[in-house]
């Protein structure tokens, strides 16, 4: 058992503390962008469900004899764009192809140019500073050091 992180999570030679910290901050920013993207996809799914439920409600309002309200729902809400010119799928497409693609590309550029393609070096170094090295369970350096899981256990037959 090697009690050190894998090479993919170690600092390349010559990379400064400032660069590791800056790329770590950029990775944290991308994590927030990924979260925002997830919320946008959740919004997209919720709007689809809302559209279907609104269609059912409009029918029920009409069947209950309230044609004026049902007509208003048909005209002003059902099938309407949540934002000018866009349904939620178009919002997702615009975000994915625009800001998200640019931010993700710039993050990858930083990893490639500044870190030799290595990811999460800042986090790996933080882990090394905080974990114990006395064999305590849950403080292993990497997954291959965990015993009992055939996917990660180097001693398991397979």
State pTM to two decimals.
Answer: 0.79
For residue 158, what pLDDT is reported?
42
For residue 105, what pLDDT is reported?
98
Average pLDDT over residues 20-31: 97
Q: What is the share, in percent, of the chain residues with pLDDT greater than 90? A: 72
How far apart are the C-alpha atoms of 31 and 122, rounded to whole Å? Answer: 14
142 — pLDDT class (breaks 50, 70, 90) = confident
Angle at 50 (CA atoms; ends 48, 55), nearest 5 degrees: 100
pLDDT in tens, 12-21: 999 999 999 9
Average pLDDT over residues 96-121: 97
Place of tokens 């114990």: 132
How far apart are the C-alpha atoms of 100 and 106, rounded to whole Å? Answer: 10
Closest by CA to 2, choosing from 133, 158, 148, is 133
User: Which DSSP string corresponds to 85-153?
Assistant: TB-HHHHHHHHIIIIIHHHHHHHHHHHHHHHTT---HHHHHHHHHHS--S--TT--SSGGG-SS-TTT-
Give the largest Cα separation in the chain, rounded: 76
156 — pLDDT class (breaks 50, 70, 90) = very low
64 — pLDDT class (breaks 50, 70, 90) = very high
Q: Lowest-pLDDT range, 59-63, 76-80, 124-128, 148-152?
A: 148-152
Is residue 58 within 8 A of residue 72, CB to CB? The reply is no
Number of residues in the chain: 158
Place of tokens 């090697």: 2
């Amino acid at each position: 058992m090697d009690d050190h992180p894998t090479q993919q999570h170690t600092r390349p030679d010559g990379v400064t503390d400032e660069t590791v910290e800056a790329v770590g901050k950029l990775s944290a920013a991308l994590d927030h962008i990924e979260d925002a993207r997830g919320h946008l996809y959740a919004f997209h799914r919720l709007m689809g469900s809302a559209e279907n439920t609104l269609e059912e409600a409009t029918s029920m309002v009409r069947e209950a004899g309230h044609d004026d309200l049902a007509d208003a729902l048909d005209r002003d809400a059902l099938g309407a764009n949540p934002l000018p010119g866009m349904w939620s799928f178009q919002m997702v497409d615009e975000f994915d192809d625009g800001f998200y693609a640019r931010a993700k590309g710039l993050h990858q550029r930083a990893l490639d140019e500044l870190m030799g393609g290595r990811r999460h070096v800042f986090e790996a170094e933080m882990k090394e500073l905080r974990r114990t090295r006395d064999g305590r369970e849950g403080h292993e350096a990497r997954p291959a050091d965990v015993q009992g899981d055939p996917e990660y256990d180097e001693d398991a037959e397979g």
